[in-house]
């Protein structure tokens, strides 16, 4: 069985201030989620499982499952409907600018030496750690990556970490961090910064501009 995509789309998207769930907000003329589905299909991924908010249906040809309370719970629910692939890709529906090239690059980077590979962009800002507003230190930017999705896993590795308690999963803001916490090896795949996550109304506007630019 070829790689299976698990697209999590069950978040409410409160910071976007939209009426409905973020993944179904229109972006470039269609529900945001559909851009990601197209990118995975164009990369040859045939089976796509989507974790959904209550009352919403998966795009045609995808398998829909009910999402969970937190993001990782939605990943676990989607994994449950993946079937028996050797490799799974986890992707946030909130990243509609993912491309087939990014999906292909991430799939190609998963080797037997690692447990997971993650799309990430090199950090360009100077980053400081602060206690409240008091700066504690300046971080070494050359070692920092802004992490994106897709994140690609050997299915056995992801299933292993997803078997942990709900509370452990709830604390994770991405899935690779669960692998890292268990001593697993994770590699970054350098990706363009424009594979950003749509969180705010400004992000949505920017995503629409990028999509319009790509269509020209």
- Interface residues with ligand C5P (CB under 6 A) are 8-11, 22-23, 51, 67-71, 74, 92-94, 197, 199
Q: How far is the CB of 204 from ligand C5P (least distance, A)?
A: 12
CB of 111 to ligand C5P, least distance (A): 27
77/7 Cα distance (integer angstroms): 11
Residue nearest to ligand C5P (CB): 11
Q: Which is nearer to ligand C5P, 3 or 13 (CB)?
A: 13
Nearest approach in angstroms of CB 67 to ligand C5P is: 4
User: Min. distance of Cβ 109 from ligand C5P in angstroms?
Assistant: 22
Lookup result for tokens 């037997």? 112
Torsion of CA 176, 181, 187, 193, to 10 degrees: 50
The CA distance from 31 to 13, in Å, is: 14
Ranges assigned E (strand) in the chain: 4-8, 26-27, 30-31, 47-52, 63-66, 87-92, 116-122, 128-131, 134-138, 145-154, 186-190
Minimum distance, C-beta of residue 161 to ligand C5P, in the bound complex (Å)? 17
Of 27, 6, 54, 50, the closest CA to residue 153 belongs to: 6
Residue 107 or 204 with smaller CB distance to ligand C5P: 204
Give whichever of 149 and 155 is closer to ligand C5P, judged by the CB atom: 149
**Residue 17 or 108: which CB sits closer to ligand C5P?**
17
- Of 74 and 155, which CB lies nearer to ligand C5P in the complex structure? 74
């Amino acid at each position: 069985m070829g790689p299976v995509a698990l697209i999590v789309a069950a978040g409410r998207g409160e910071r976007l201030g939209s009426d409905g769930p973020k993944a179904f907000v229109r972006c470039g003329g269609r529900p945001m989620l559909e851009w990601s589905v197209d990118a995975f299909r164009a990369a040859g991924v045939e089976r796509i499982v989507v974790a959904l908010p209550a009352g919403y249906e998966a795009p045609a040809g995808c398998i829909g499952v009910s999402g969970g309370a937190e993001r990782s719970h939605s990943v676990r629910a989607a994994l449950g409907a993946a079937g028996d692939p050797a490799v799974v890709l986890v992707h946030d529906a909130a990243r509609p600018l993912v491309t087939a090239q990014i999906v292909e690059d991430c799939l190609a980077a998963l080797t037997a030496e690692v447990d997971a590979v993650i799309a990430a962009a090199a950090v360009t800002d100077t980053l400081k750690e602060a206690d409240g507003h008091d700066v504690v230190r300046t971080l070494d930017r050359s070692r920092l990556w802004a992490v994106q999705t897709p994140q690609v896993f050997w299915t056995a590795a992801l299933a292993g970490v997803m078997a942990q308690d709900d509370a452990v999963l709830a604390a994770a803001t991405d899935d690779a961090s669960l692998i890292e916490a268990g001593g697993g090896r994770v590699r970054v795949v350098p990706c363009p910064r424009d594979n950003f996550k749509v969180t705010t109304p400004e992000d949505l506007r920017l995503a629409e501009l990028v999509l319009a630019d790509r269509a020209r």
